[in-house]
């Protein structure tokens, strides 16, 4: 969930965790079902709300 909230794609997550893209995709689907997320924006909103990721300014 943390890596998805940071904007990493399935391939990047798989490479970092040494998992197949299919496995990461399955985990993502399970997270979305259990948390009732409809899209990535909802996941990011949740992660920010509960301080799972930090906000940053690009300026």
* CATH numbers and ranges of domains, the chain: 2-49 (1.10.10.10)
Query: What are the pLDDT digits (tens) for 37-50?
Result: 999 999 999 999 99
> What distance in Å separates the CA atoms of residue 13 and residue 37, rounded to the nearest whole number?
19
The reported pLDDT for the residue numbered 33 is 98
pLDDT band at 53 (very low <50, low <70, confident <90, very high): confident
Cβ(31)–Cβ(1) below 8 Å: yes
Beta strands (DSSP E) in 8-48 are: none
């Amino acid at each position: 969930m943390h890596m998805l909230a940071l904007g990493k794609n399935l391939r990047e997550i798989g490479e970092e965790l040494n998992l197949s893209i299919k496995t990461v995709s399955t985990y993502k689907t399970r997270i979305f079902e259990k948390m009732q997320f409809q899209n990535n924006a909802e996941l990011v909103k949740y992660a920010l709300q509960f301080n799972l990721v930090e906000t940053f300014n690009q300026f």
